[in-house]
Amino acid sequence: MTTDAKQKLAKEAPAREAVVLVHGLAAVRLVMWPIGKRLRKCGYQVKNHGYFSISKTIPHHATRLGEILDGFEKDPSIEKFHLVTHSMGCIIGRHLLRQKRFEKLGRWVMLAPPNRGSHAARIMSPYLGRFCTPLTQLSDAPDSFVNQVKDFRDTNDVEFAIVEAAYDRVIASSSVPLEGQSEYVVVKSNHGPLPWHADAIKFVQQFLSQKSVETR
Write down how long the chain is. Answer: 216
pLDDT in tens, 103-157: 999 999 999 999 999 999 999 999 999 999 999 999 999 999 999 999 999 999 9
> What CATH code is assigned to 3-208?
3.40.50.1820
- Treating both helix axes as pointing N-terminal to C-terminal, what angle do 198-208 and 33-41 enclose, rounded to 10 degrees? 40
**Which letter does DSSP use for residue 176 in this model?**
S
**What's the pLDDT score for residue 213?**
47
- Residue 109, H or E segment: strand 105-111
| Average pLDDT score over the chain | 93
**Which letter does DSSP use for residue 171 in this model?**
S
CA distance 166 to 8: 31
Question: With 70 as the cut, is the pLDDT of residue 214 above it?
Answer: no
**Which letter does DSSP use for residue 75 in this model?**
-
Report DSSP letters for 110-170, one per residue. EES--TT-BHHHHHHHHHHTTTSTHHHHTB-STTSSGGGPPP-TTT---EEEEEEETT-SS
**What's the pLDDT score for residue 210?**
86
Percent of the chain beyond pLDDT 90? 90
- Phi/psi for 60 (5° steps) reads -65, -45
Q: Please name the residues in contact with 67: beta carbons below 8 A apart, sequence gap of 6 or more.
A: none
Give the residue-averaged pLDDT of 10-14: 50
Reported confidence tier of residue 8, pLDDT bands at 50, 70, 90 = low
Q: What is the largest CA-CA distance in the chain?
A: 54
Reported confidence tier of residue 216, pLDDT bands at 50, 70, 90 = very low
Question: With 70 as the cut, is the pLDDT of residue 2 above it?
Answer: no
Where exactly are the structural domains of the chain? 3-208
Question: With 80 as the cut, is the pLDDT of residue 174 above it?
Answer: yes
